[in-house]
Amino acid sequence: MPDNYYILTGGPGSGKTTLLEALAQSGYPCIPEVAREIISEQIRDNSSALPWQDYVLYTEIMLERSVLSYTETTKKHTTNQPVFFDRGIPDTLCYAELTKQPITEKMTSHAQEYRYNHNVFILPPWEAIYHTDAERKQSWKEAVATYEQMVQTYHQHGYTIIEVPHDTVENRVAFILRHTISTLENM
């Protein structure tokens, strides 16, 4: 398990993507979220593996792409520099739970095999910045439920949750870097 692989997760519209963009601009490798990529591709190709159509197929693709993203990252990033993932493999299990799908052995084994640093940064719901778009159709209530399920899913898989406070992007970046640097120094 690479101790320098950190997950940033949270419900939709919590400021996660903006925060990751700021980390990338600061020179840290950031691995993009596979879900938005899948949704864009499915819409472009007029396919049905979408959360609002064939959510079972969407979940399967999301799991495969998350594992691929992880394994490709292990080949590209071989230093101890922190690498930030826009969501992790356990997010797929969270999505399956939210959509009442069974958690398969494959999902569980991938979540155990492809591990990240035990500290997971989660961004809580933030109604002041929440909005929907073509790829984010969840209501505010669904965003809150997603956050709650994420906390539960990550705890079930042995991760420690670090909640990133509502604050400016700069202060959120500083908060995350303080935690990652101190964690890496103590290893």
Domain holding 83: CATH number? 3.40.50.300
Distance CA 127, CA 129 (A): 5
Longest alpha-carbon distance in the chain: 49
Q: What is the pLDDT of residue 123?
A: 96
Q: What is the pLDDT of residue 113?
A: 97
Q: Extract the residue ranges of the chain whose pLDDT is less than 50.
A: none
For the chain, what is the domain count?
1
Distance CA 102, CA 40 (A): 25
For residue 162, give its domain range. 5-185
